[in-house]
Amino acid sequence: MTGREFVQAAKERIATAKTVDALRAAQALLLPLEFGLSLEQTATIIGLSKSRTGKLRTRFQRIEIGVEQVKTKKGLRNHARMSLDEEVKFLAPFITQAQNTGVLLIPQLKAELERCVGRSVSTSTVYQLLRRHGWSKLAQHPRTDMEVMQAWKRIAQEK
């Protein structure tokens, strides 16, 4: 594979690129093939190192043939404890309960999340989980509302 079969795709990507990385990847492939530039010249033009330019070119080809997927920011969850689908399944009963009662108690959700992932998690992790799935408006911490605090204490005492 010389890359010539990707020239048209690279031209289209240059015209429609929404990020600098997407533009540079298409340029890394197109400039040497269309204008006969060396890898060093291409790297200088797009403002990257020679090795990074070669990697971008290879990645562009892999994405075009479907071997590799374009990474989105949402997909770059390096410390994810669950996949996005697992998170949705985990949150479902809590969201249903919160829609019925109008309250989503963070300590209860945090305790269940810790049990599910098998390790302790910070409260901010719980809020980020809810924000990621669009449910942060339902969240209430017992310390923020005296009625909720009293209800939470009654629930805790019943158990």
d(CA 159, CA 156): 5
Question: Would 53 be classed as within a structural domain?
Answer: yes
Q: Could you tell me if 61 and 105 lie in one domain?
A: no
Q: Could you tell me if 154 and 91 lie in one domain?
A: yes
Summarize pLDDT for 22-53 with one digit per residue, the tens. 889 899 988 998 888 999 999 999 999 999 99
Question: Would 78 be classed as within a structural domain?
Answer: no
Summarize pLDDT for 98-133 with one digit per residue, the tens. 878 777 788 889 999 999 989 999 988 888 888 888
Question: Would 126 be classed as within a structural domain?
Answer: yes
DSSP letters for 125-149: HHHHHHHHTT-GGGEE-GGG-HHHH
Question: Would 95 be classed as within a structural domain?
Answer: yes
Q: Supply the pTM of this predicted model.
A: 0.46
